[in-house]
Amino acid sequence: MTDNPTQTTQLIPVLQDWWSQHARALPWRKTGISAWEILVSEVMSQQTPMTRVAPYWTQWITQWPTPADCANAPVASILLAWGNLGYPSRALRLQTCAKVLSTTYDNTVPNTYEELIQLPGIGRYTASAVLSFALHQRITVVDTNIRRVLSRAFLGQESIGGTVTSTDYQLAEKLLPYDAQQQHMPASVLWNQCIMEIGATTCTSKNTLCSECPLSSVCKWKKQGFPGKGIHTTRKTQKWKGTNRQLRGLILKALREQASHGIEHPHLTVQDLQSLWDNADQIHICCTALEQEKLVSRNSVGDITFPDD
């Protein structure tokens, strides 16, 4: 099979059948989901598995079904709803994005790449994903999973990980099928969703379930005996215990736990902080960083609370 859209379009019926049988039932994949709801799912899924995101997404959309709802929410509520998703600054950027959508775009998500890429917290991947998955436009979408599957199946090469490159986008653009309606979505949308799902569930960095993969019959990597399998495909595990990242997470978790127990104004005293961590200098560094990122507020005696609006 040559690497061009005309040829890959021929795979669409196979992918359609595979998708209907194997796609995970994620809540934002239901019919009638809005572009705002897709945008929220994509922001939440940055560096976070989709299955972990699902309950947080459901709660978020229930509380704030439109950008304006999110824009007007108290910052403390935003951080509480973000829960354990990690990288909580994403929650604040998402609310800032909602404010722009509610004021500049009449509470809707714009339908052009040029407008989406200018929104707070929205990068190339997220803008493309919203245009494809929510607005059904023919546009190249590339994340780690898509890059891995395309590299293996159509180049016969193991993906080495790292940042997505222009070469990765060029390959994806060459392969993106031309649009022809396939039941509920155009061919390019089905392609993007299927390739991403294959990478997440069937052709992962550690496991290759070739017997279940709809690309198995055309996969160059398989035909060549899986050259380079497992080499440089994952990042080294980052140290966690004892790091500032761990302490920051503990501080925010402690505030969330107070709120979950009905405390109206969650706060941590200096003594509370010292009971969490025995390094005063590290506490100061982390509290200062959290305050600078507007994830917490700190009073004159050093008590920590959620930020005021």
Q: Are 66 and 86 a contacting pair, CB within 8 Å?
A: no
Classify 271 as helix, strand or coil: helix
**Model confidence pLDDT, tens digit, residues 174-207:** 999 987 655 578 999 999 999 999 999 999 999 9
CB environment 3-24: b (16+ within 10 A), e (fewer): eebeebbebbeebbebbeeeee
Q: What does the mean pLDDT of the chain come to?
A: 92
**Domains within the chain, CATH numbers bracketed:** 244-305 (1.10.10)
Q: What is the pTM of this model?
A: 0.90
Strand (E) or helix (H) holding 233? none
Chain-centroid distance of CA 212 in Å reads: 25
Confidence tier at 1 by pLDDT (50, 70, 90): very low
Q: What is the pLDDT of residues 262-298, one digit of tens each?
A: 888 899 999 999 999 999 999 999 999 999 999 999 9
H-assigned helices in 72-121 = 75-82, 89-104, 113-116
Q: Which of 37, 42, 158, 197 is catalytic?
A: 42
User: From its phi and psi, is residue 252 left (phi > 0), alpha (psi between -120 and 50) or beta?
Assistant: alpha
pLDDT, tens only, 70-119: 999 999 999 999 998 988 999 999 999 999 999 999 999 999 999 999 99
d(CA 216, CA 237): 30
Q: Is position 42 annotated as part of the catalytic site?
A: yes
How many C-beta atoms surround the C-beta of residue 276 within 10 A? 14
